[in-house]
Structure 1
Amino acid sequence: MSNRLFQGLVHQMRDSIDATIGVVDETATIIACSDLSRVGTTNEFVSLDLSDSHDIFIRDGFTYKPFGSRVKPDYAVFVEGVDDAAAKYASILAIALSNIKQYYDEKYDRNNFIKNVILDNVLPGDIVIKARELHFNAEISRAVFLIRIISANDISAYDVIQNLFPDKNKDFVFNITETDIVLVKELKSTVDSKDLEKLARSIAATLSSEFYTRVKVGIGTAVVVDKDLEKIACFFYDTVSSEFYTRVNVGIGTAVVGVKDLARSFKEAQMALEVGKVFDTDKVIVSYDNLGIARLIYHLPTTLCETFLHEVFKVGSIESLDHETLFTIQKFFENNLNVSETSRKLFVHRNTLVYRLEKIKKLTGLDLREFDHAIIFKIALMVKKYLSANPVKF
């Protein structure tokens, strides 16, 4: 559609500008030109210049002015000539074409529509109307993936993800910040959490294998994963080199059908990442449905959390617990309050563990061998970690 938009404007401008004018895409292929015989040809040397910046450059007797909404230009206008007049024409054409492309995206582009829905920029009553206007199937199950790039080199993660999901009629990829990329994936009707985890891992593993980056991936809502996509997921995950460390956190939101709830699913994916960062720092996959107590604590006012801590612990008691004692407590919880099993995992005598538990009881007033006390202590530790992290609310 952009090609036709650009060709229409170029056709109208050709009589006003006494020179050959046109537009190339990011691969330096001419997609619109006043000389129709040149449409479809490519200049590979121009593509190298397009990857540098949005500044005007001259190549083979033509003046080029890149434009587009991304860091790397999407398109470039070219005008025959290398003088100031050619540069001015190129700049004016770039502004005109950029504006008409933006207008088209806002009014007719499905990708932009989904982006606005995700970011709550569309009124609920307008979503159905706009979806009908764009012939958008609003009753299909979809998954929202939030991909957070922690560190990367010059290779575009956005382009990598687009290449993974090239069907632009079903899958939508867009940036929301410099580090956050959203993928809305259309899915079939049957899936379980393991399928979703494989899909998330495939994205992270592919990014890692492309440019050895550290990433976090948040998955919003998901319902189905294609069998072919599952195979791709397994392939990419298995082929990542173990020499490169990749940190990945996956947040899985609740399942939705339709468009209206995509914004909620996206927020759940953000929340899953944040809650996982606070409470489950070692976990790779964090499901919104399985956050449990962590999700409850996350929604509590900080003042209520502080009051709870003051009621549970004596003044200074929690601060007096050293690293070794806290590690012992963690292992005791992991082994379901089993003294014998915990002592075996810690490689200490059973009596040594009992002595440590007695010490904790004297400091805090809670006997971790009693189930009720253990629950209170566990929640209190999570609340303290939550307050210390000062997480972002969604």
Structure 2
Amino acid sequence: MYELTHNQAQNIVNKMMKDIPFNINIMDKTGIIIGSGNKERIGTLHHGAVAAIKQKKIVEIKKDEEFVKKGINLPIELNEAIIGVVGISGEVKETRPFANLVKSAVILLIEQSISLKKENLEKNLKQEFFNLITDPDTTYTKELMDQAAAYGITINKPSQIVYVEFPYKMDKEILTNFPSFKTSNHSYCIVVQEANKIEFLQEQIQKQFPDAFISISKMNDKISEGFLQAKSAMRVLKGVFSNEKVISYSSCEFIADMAELQKKNSKAEMQVHLLDKNVELIKTLQVYLSCNLNANETASRLIIHRNTLNYRLHRIFKITGKDPKNILDLVDLIFILINRVK
């Protein structure tokens, strides 16, 4: 049987008393007050509620007595079982018109709470499953295979991961025909087990969310491998390419893997944040790279004078100790850009 909690009962009382000009009490299935406009009564036995539970009907108390106050008490039924009682204190003839309205509202709020609890439970189970399949050390057991099938995944079938990040908080689900998992408030992971569907999915996401960033893994035997590839490719996309929205791991595999290795280097870690407060310099370096180090094209794209570009490149050199015009230093600058991205 469903059991009302103190927090749930008190929240319902607080909501109802904004619109009802009487004190409201909510009692559990034993008649103990667990929510009330009069906080001093919480934890005490409500005799009117005990009578309503025992008689399985509305109990009206028309005058105050030693252990009861006048008012109306209505059993709260859920799935044909009494889970508690709601009481409205006051003259019966004044509280009676509110009785069924309050009872219906309380039941509705309880059902909403149950539904939300169930939804949160399902989300937690889904998140636990996702954490398992993206852990490289997870063994594919029969139980995990069955669980995967429930989410539309054939666990031992090769798959690609489409990882999507948004520049804003995403509260709604991505509407696709593929298994998808929310990885943060700003990102989703989509599992695709049909290679010829990637282009279709990409177009679908771009049409629905034109501001989204998309990275695509290679086809892998384990979902965990694809997830790591897609995330490392996303870091390359957001770190290096200022005007791109889509990247595939296969197109940046070497630099993505090297950036992951660099991330573990303590000296490289110290350099990562050197350009953090210089958005202008970051943008300049990104455009410089996208223009294949062509200074004239870079200046044109940035709408600045060639001398201004040279000044900015020199500032990058001064701040980082890495010269953008030196190919070896430029590689280190690329890693700095990539490893800035979480």
Superposition TM-score, scaled by structure 2 size:
0.47
Superposition TM-score, scaled by structure 1 size:
0.42
Quick check: which has more Rg, 1 or 2?
A: 2
